[in-house]
């Protein structure tokens, strides 16, 4: 029975007109229920008589519906929850010995005995995109059934829920014996003995693929990952090239028997040929794509800079890791750079269906807010190899990340005698910079003597050399941190920061884009959610009000567990030394399981971060190939997403954000950095943690806002590494000083981490 106080509170709320409305599930659960029902955000927006962006805000927690839409939305979610219950709920932050659903051990496969008739032909069944049909039930065959031609299911039911069009998820990892491991513990038997049969199976019988991320986009193609044994089975060589320096040009020669066999079966390859990521297709027919993506593991399809040693994982674990990435980001279809760029296009397709007023039919038209056309680039924004740069003498944009070393003579005696140098790193700095960033959506227009407008995207020729710079801080206007010596080209963000610092700016000329918008916002939202969700699965608290010391302790636990080897006693010692006795006291099996799970989570985190970093870099893809000559165009220039100005805008904002935080630290407590490398900054500290040098709030419980707040979300900071101050001073005093931010982990971060 309720207490009298509870009843009085409810009555008072009713009298005040503030009674609580229907309770909605968490934002992530709202999105899961909608996806389980196979409903797009646009369809839901139509039902609620709202907009797609509003629904998106509901699902990422930015807003909550108001009555009467609240009651309708709650009723819909309640109905979906009854039909599509979650198999298990993962809290936003949990203890490290709990098993996240995505990384839970796969269920043991079952071996049923119900045979199913095999299709009479290898031809791909084709239907129109606007009336998709579910693929045939996936078949799994033991050896005896393969010869008889009768497919036999031996698949375990996946733990994840997929839509009816693609019931078996986005991908499989294929082993040499024909066993295909899917997402959520799914196990299928692939009967193919040739690549042509494999492609046909993937399109017709596997049930693989992903639904489009935008109503105007296209569904994701099935991905089949070939282990070394599977590659050998299909006649592929063990390696393509032993020299990693030429890895980008790896491909089978056109006269290779495998390539010729595909051609005889009427399958085609894209211009990049048959390499580590091979896309095999036939032309679209009746509105349906016929395309399968292959990834060849022994050909280094999974770059170690992004995926670590993922290619060494057992096939079921690799399927789990790739499946998590595919569900949260995009089905892999190349390097993480390629995935990052493809995700931009998948979320904001360049075209959409529009009504032709003359005929009344539907035709393809430009999609508002997307990059729809290839524009001639502005000379100061391009690479020196670009055709527009030939003969150009007006200078170029140099908006890059920081590579700055503080002059050793500017160090105070108090700094030099500190015991520690601590490096802190900004979580996915480029992703944080992409949020709400206005970028150009049209071609550049050359203007002389323009008035500066912080709302206009473009590149500005401005002289900022008159602005004074403290030698203990890097200049905010150059990646080297040295003050500019004359006029230079800058993005809108950099020039606006000069104004923010109180200085006058008078542009000499500019290349401006009249049409602009937050093109990267959907990309930011999806990758941010992927990053935060995966961090939470690692036991890292992600809430806004998280205690920063608890965050650092959880990060330490994750770091030790993900890197643990076979020596569990050494792991226990390390955990106990960090005050993590509750983990050190776990049993052998439980501790080994936690370490293995954290290792896989770390692989996904690395891939998400690489998708951000290398995806932004792909906006200014350089020419490739030994035969390229400067001044010749290259294939990347043919796509609307070759936009070096957008890359420059993101990096400039990240660098400005870094400078603003460093300046606020100096203003708050008089401490200055020792060096900066990309998104890592190092300070002298009396303690081996950031609380020794970062300014704290009045209560002393947290870091002062506006500086380097500690936390798991993009834009907040974490510990990168710790060295003795004596070591760092030695680096700075050398004839060729060493950047402490590059070596704070004890090695060259640029070389090892692929920065």
CB 167 within 8 A of CB 205: no
Which token pair is 460? 């500005």
- Range from 241-250, 436-445, 529-538, 578-587 carrying the lowest mean pLDDT: 241-250
Q: Determine whether 451 is exposed, middle or buried from the number of CB atoms within 10 Å of its CB (0-12, 13-18, 19+).
A: exposed
Condensed to tens digits (0 to 9), the pLDDT of residues 537-550 reads 999 999 888 899 99
Query: pLDDT band at 306, cuts 50/70/90?
Result: very high
Region 694-706: mean pLDDT is 89
Please tell me the predicted confidence (pLDDT) of residue 281.
95
CB 714 within 8 A of CB 431: yes
Region 501-511: mean pLDDT is 95
Top-confidence residue, 245 or 266: 266
For the chain, what are the domain ranges? 4-83, 103-121+134-333
Top-confidence residue, 151 or 236: 236
CA distance 104 to 317: 10
Please tell me the predicted confidence (pLDDT) of residue 602.
97
For residue 116, is pLDDT > 50?
no
In 3D space, the residue among 730, 723, 726, 729 whose CA is nearest the CA of residue 747 turns out to be 723
**β-strand 680-685 against 402-405: which pairing, if any?**
unpaired
Which token pair is 473? 């801080």
Q: Which CATH number fits domain 4-83: 1.10.260.40, 3.90.950.10, 3.40.50.300, 3.40.1410.10?
A: 1.10.260.40
Please tell me the predicted confidence (pLDDT) of residue 96.
45
Percent pLDDT > 90 in the chain is 70
3-state helix, strand, coil in the chain (%, to 5): 40, 15, 50
For residue 413, is pLDDT > 80?
yes
Condensed to tens digits (0 to 9), the pLDDT of residues 153-174 reads 344 445 555 666 899 999 999 9
Condensed to tens digits (0 to 9), the pLDDT of residues 597-617 reads 999 999 999 999 999 999 999
Structure pTM?
A: 0.81
For residue 201, is pLDDT > 80?
yes
- Residue that the structure tokens 């996915």 belong to: 428
Q: What is the dihedral of CA 92, 95, 101, 102, to 10 degrees?
A: 80
**Which residues does 271 contact at the CB level (< 8 Å), separation at least 6?**
635
Please tell me the predicted confidence (pLDDT) of residue 752.
52
CA distance 680 to 707: 14
């Amino acid at each position: 029975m309720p207490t009298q106080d509870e009843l009085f509170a409810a009555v008072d709320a009713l009298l005040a007109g503030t009674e609580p409305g229907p309770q909605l599930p968490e934002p992530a659960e709202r999105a899961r229920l909608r996806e389980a029902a196979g409903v797009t955000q646009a369809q839901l927006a139509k039902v609620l008589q709202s907009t797609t962006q509003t629904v998106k805000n509901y699902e990422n927690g930015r807003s909550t519906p108001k009555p009467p839409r609240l009651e309708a939305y709650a009723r819909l979610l309640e109905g979906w929850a009854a039909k599509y219950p979650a198999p298990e709920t993962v809290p936003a932050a949990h203890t490290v010995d709990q098993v996240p659903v995505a990384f839970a051990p796969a269920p043991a496969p079952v071996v049923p005995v119900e045979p199913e008739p095999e299709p009479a032909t290898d031809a791909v069944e084709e239907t129109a995109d606007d009336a998709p049909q579910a693929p045939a039930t996936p078949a799994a065959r033991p050896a005896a059934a393969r010869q008889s031609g009768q497919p036999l299911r031996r698949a375990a039911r996946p733990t994840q829920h997929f839509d009816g069009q693609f019931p078996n998820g986005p991908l499989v990892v294929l082993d040499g014996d024909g066993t295909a491991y899917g997402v959520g513990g799914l196990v299928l038997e692939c009967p193919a003995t040739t690549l042509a049969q494999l492609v046909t199976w993937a399109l017709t019988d596997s049930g693989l693929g992903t639904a489009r991320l935008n109503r105007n986009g296209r569904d994701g193609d099935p991905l089949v990952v070939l282990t070394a044994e599977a590659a050998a089975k299909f006649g592929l060589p063990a390696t393509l090239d032993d020299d990693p320096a030429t890895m980008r040009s790896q491909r089978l020669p056109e006269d290779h028997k495998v390539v010729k066999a595909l051609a005889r079966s009427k399958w085609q390859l894209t211009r990049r040929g048959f390499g580590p990521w091979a896309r095999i297709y036939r032309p679209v027919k009746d509105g349906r794509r016929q395309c399968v993506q292959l990834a060849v593991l022994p050909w280094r399809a999974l770059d170690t800079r992004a995926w670590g040693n993922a290619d060494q994982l057992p096939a079921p674990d690799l399927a789990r890791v790739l499946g998590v990435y595919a569900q949260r980001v995009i089905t892999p279809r190349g390097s993480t750079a390629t995935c990052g760029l493809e995700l931009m296009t998948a979320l904001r397709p360049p075209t959409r269906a529009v009504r032709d007023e003359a005929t009344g039919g539907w035709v393809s038209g430009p999609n508002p807010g997307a990059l729809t056309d290839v524009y001639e680039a502005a000379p100061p924004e391009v690479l020196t190899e670009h055709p527009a740069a030939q003969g150009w003498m007006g200078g170029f944009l140099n908006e890059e990340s920081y590579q700055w070393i503080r002059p050793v003579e500017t160090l105070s005696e108090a700094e030099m005698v500190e015991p520690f140098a601590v490096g802190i790193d900004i979580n996915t700095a480029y992703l944080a910079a992409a949020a709400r960033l206005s970028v150009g959506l049209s071609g550049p227009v050359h203007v002389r003597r323009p008035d500066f407008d912080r709302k206009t995207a473009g590149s500005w020729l401005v002289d900022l050399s008159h602005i004074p710079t403290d030698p203990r801080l890097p200049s905010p206007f150059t990646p080297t941190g040295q003050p500019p010596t004359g006029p230079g080209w800058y993005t809108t963000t950099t020039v606006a920061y000069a104004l923010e610092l109180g200085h006058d700016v008078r542009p000499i000329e500019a290349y401006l884009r009249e049409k602009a918008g937050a093109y990267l916002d959907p990309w930011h939202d999806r990758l941010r959610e992927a990053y935060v969700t995966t961090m939470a699965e690692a036991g890292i608290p992600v809430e806004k009000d998280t205690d920063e010391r608890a965050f650092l302790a959880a990060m330490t636990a994750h770091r030790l567990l993900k890197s643990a080897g076979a020596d569990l006693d050494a792991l226990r010692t390390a955990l106990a030394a960090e005050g993590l006795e509750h983990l050190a006291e776990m049993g052998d099996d439980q501790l080994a399981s936690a370490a293995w799970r954290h290792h896989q989570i770390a692989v996904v985190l690395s891939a998400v971060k690489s998708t951000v970093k290398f995806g932004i870099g792909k906006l200014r893809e350089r020419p490739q190939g030994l035969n390229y000559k400067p001044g010749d165009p290259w294939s990347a220039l043919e796509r609307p997403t070759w936009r070096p100005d957008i890359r420059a805008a993101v990096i400039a904002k990240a660098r400005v954000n870094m400078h603003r935080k460093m300046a606020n630290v100096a203003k708050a407590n008089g401490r200055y950095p020792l060096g900066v490398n990309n998104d890592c900054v190092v300070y002298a500290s009396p303690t081996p943690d950031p609380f020794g040098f970062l300014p704290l709030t009045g209560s002393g419980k947290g870091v002062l806002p506006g500086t380097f707040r500690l936390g798991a979300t993009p834009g907040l900071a974490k510990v990168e590494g710790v060295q003795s101050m004596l070591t760092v001073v030695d680096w700075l005093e050398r004839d060729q000083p060493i950047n402490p931010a590059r070596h704070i982990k004890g090695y060259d971060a640029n070389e090892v981490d692929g920065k």
